[in-house]
Amino acid sequence: MAVREKAVREKAGREKAGHPKIMRMSVEQPLWRALAGYRVLTMLYAVGFFATAYDGFQRPWVAVAYYCVLFVWTLATLPWVANAASCTKRFLAADLTIALTGILLTPFADTHERVQSGGPTLPSIWTAGAVLAFAIKGGWRWAAFASTLVAVVNLVERGTPARDTVHNVILVWVASIAIGYVVEVARASERTLARALEIEAATRERERLARDIHDSVLQVLAMVQRRGAVLAAEAGELGRMAGEQEVALRALVSAGLVPEPGAPGTAVHAAGESGPDALDAPDPVDLRTLLVPYATSTITLSEPGAPVPLARAAAKELAAAVGAALDNVRKHAGEGARAWILVEDEPDSVVVTVRDDGPGIPEGRLAQAEGEGRLGVAQSIRGRLRDLGGDAELISVPGQGTEVELKVPKDTRAARGKAERR
């Protein structure tokens, strides 16, 4: 209970902080609204038709009493046909009973000649609304059950299976079953889409966590392993254990497992401005202020003379990708290698280039490293840029160093939307 209350508080905090709430659109909700309108219109049609033919009824008071009940019932039960949850089985049974009762009362209210000649029943086409409610609620099987009852009662009311009666019965039967089948297909499609969205969200969150782990935990473990290897006794044992944990953690990060939505421990949306919901924060920052700390005696930063505005979280992700590229320089080119950072402020995008004078990357080494679970380039650099709607291009010539070009659009929302449509 405490865990659930904490999750509710965290969710409320994210919504209050400006993180949008994920809304699921029901594909069947428009059908319920259409059904509510259909019931009202067909009720008014039945009453209006009776009013125009009042003098022709044998016992008009029977029809008047029925239409009073039909009028009150139709308006009073509008909330019950608002959605599938409120449309209960008890309501469906009562609704269909009123329709069937109206059909059976028709011979008592109207003349025998008009009944035999194919005149309309008291509920007229309102009856189809009761059958459609079964179709939308339970699918084609429920629709077949309700339309079959209507067919039987219509045949009882007429006494003989006349051509027009059979025609109307078959029309209602086929139409209701078809609508019920369409509703079932729509529900299945909605569940499939919801599952796909949950998997995509969980995958994006796993990739973001993998980048954070690579930039922090894995770097520390690798450093402990290297330092412990040159020491003896307990320090050496600590380095060995750190190396084992690094291998295990890399395997876990690169496994690509997507947890089941709703499972304990699953976090699809992370709080804090590093999550995907904060990429479009309205308050931009000057990217130069985030890159200045990287400048050292061996790293040269070249930047424009004017501020380079970028959305706060997008700027942080871009700066983190630059940091990951510099980590690769230190790791593979050595502590004494020189590197250059060039910032270019273009009209629609920001381009940051990181170049070093190291030995370069052998051909095929990146694919091999990714297969071994070393996701520095795949996640910490390219993954970050992909989430921002940008791209990262890596050019390396053995013996001539490596150049990483990071390009981020200034309108990250539009760029991510375009990338997703592809």
Digit-coded pLDDT (tens) for 175-232: 888 888 888 887 788 788 878 888 777 777 777 766 666 565 656 666 666 666 556 5
Q: Structure pTM?
A: 0.46
Q: Which residues pair with 300 in a beta bridge?
A: 340
Which of the residue ranges 15-29, 262-276, 285-299 would you say has the lowest mean pLDDT? 262-276
pLDDT score recorded for residue 204:
77
- Domains along the sequence of the chain with CATH: 27-197 (no CATH), 285-420 (3.30.565.10)
Would you give the DSSP letter of residue 275? S
Instruction: Tell me: pLDDT of 38 over 80.
Output: yes
pLDDT score recorded for residue 351:
92
Q: If pLDDT is split at 50, 70 and 90, which confidence band does 2 have?
A: very low
How do residues 216-259 score in pLDDT, each as one tens digit? 565 666 666 666 655 655 666 666 666 655 555 555 555 444 33
Distance (Å, rounded) from C-alpha 228 to C-alpha 235?
Answer: 5
How do residues 285-303 score in pLDDT, each as one tens digit? 889 888 888 887 788 888 8
Instruction: Tell me: pLDDT of 372 over 80.
Output: no
For 61, phi then psi, to 5°, come to -65, -30
Distance (Å, rounded) from C-alpha 144 to C-alpha 139?
Answer: 9
- Helix, strand or coil for residue 351? strand
C-alpha closest to that of 402 among 371, 372, 363, 374: 363
Query: If you average pLDDT over residues 56-70, what whole number do you get?
Result: 90
Contact 352, 342 (CB under 8 A): yes
pLDDT score recorded for residue 267:
33
pLDDT score recorded for residue 205:
72
pLDDT score recorded for residue 17:
40
Q: Which helix (H) or strand (E) holds 84?
A: none
- The CA-based dihedral angle spanning residues 189, 193, 195, 200, taken in that order and rounded to the nearest 10 degrees: 160
- Helix, strand or coil for residue 53? coil
Q: If pLDDT is split at 50, 70 and 90, which confidence band does 42 have?
A: very high
Distance (Å, rounded) from C-alpha 241 to C-alpha 145?
Answer: 68
For 315, phi then psi, to 5°, come to -65, -40
pLDDT score recorded for residue 101:
93
Instruction: Tell me: pLDDT of 367 over 80.
Output: no
Q: If pLDDT is split at 50, 70 and 90, which confidence band does 151 have?
A: confident
Polymer length of the chain:
422
pLDDT score recorded for residue 217:
63
pLDDT score recorded for residue 420:
52
pLDDT score recorded for residue 231:
61
Query: Mean pLDDT of all residues in the chain?
Result: 74
Query: If you average pLDDT over residues 118-134, what whole number do you get?
Result: 86
Q: If pLDDT is split at 50, 70 and 90, which confidence band does 272 have?
A: very low
Would you give the DSSP letter of residue 324? H
Distance (Å, rounded) from C-alpha 60 to C-alpha 62?
Answer: 5
Instruction: Tell me: pLDDT of 325 over 90.
Output: no
What percentage of residues in the chain have a pLDDT greater than 90? 14
pLDDT score recorded for residue 374:
47
Q: Which token pair is 24?
A: 């699921």
